């Protein structure tokens, strides 16, 4: 597991390239406020949008997750803890006023980037309406 990339994965980089080419500026691997050792994959801090691109195996994708047969109980616990941590992080950020967007690694980067941009545009429009 130490060789598993937890940042700059192929899906993350693909989505970031599309967003950047479209003119969006963002931060990567931003620490989750008040939660040590957790990071947001892509963040729009001013708009308070946190984006996570979750791996199907590690985060329990309903379509593609598999359960290893060797050392099954250990893996069940490990993967269950990952999903519980995802939920806890989402709830923490939501309570702090962040909009949390989660995507699976198997989703097309173009579709993910389009949905992120739509949320960012909407958030910026809402902020501009509120400011005097």
Domain chopping of the chain, boundaries: 10-125
**Cα separation, 29 vs 38, whole angstroms:** 9
Considering the chain, what is the average pLDDT of its residues?
90
The model's pTM: 0.88
Q: Between the CA of residue 1 and those of 6, 10, 94, what are the distances in Å? A: 10, 17, 29
For residue 71, the number of C-alpha atoms closer than 13 Å in the C-beta half-sphere is: 5
pLDDT at 129: 55
Contacts of residue 47, defined as CB under 8 A and 6 or more positions apart, other chains included, come to 99, 120, 123, 124, 127
Residue 69 has pLDDT above 90, yes or no: no
**Into which CATH architecture does domain 10-125 fall?**
3-Layer(aba) Sandwich (3.40)
Residue 54 has pLDDT above 90, yes or no: yes
Q: How confident is the model over 90-117, as pLDDT tens digits?
A: 999 999 999 999 999 999 999 999 999 9
Q: 90 is written with which tokens?
A: 């989402």
């Amino acid at each position: 597991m130490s060789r598993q990339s937890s940042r700059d994965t192929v899906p993350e980089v693909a989505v970031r390239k599309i967003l950047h080419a479209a003119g969006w500026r963002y931060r990567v691997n931003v620490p989750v406020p008040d939660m040590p050792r957790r990071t947001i994959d892509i963040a729009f801090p001013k708009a308070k949008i946190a984006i996570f691109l979750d791996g199907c195996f590690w985060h329990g994708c309903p379509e593609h997750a598999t359960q290893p047969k060797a050392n099954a109980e250990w893996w069940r616990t490990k993967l269950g803890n990952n999903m519980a941590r995802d939920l806890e992080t989402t709830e923490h950020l939501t309570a702090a006023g962040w909009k949390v967007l989660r995507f699976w690694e198997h989703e097309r980067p173009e579709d993910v980037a389009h949905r992120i941009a739509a949320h960012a545009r909407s958030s910026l429009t809402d902020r501009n309406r509120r400011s005097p």
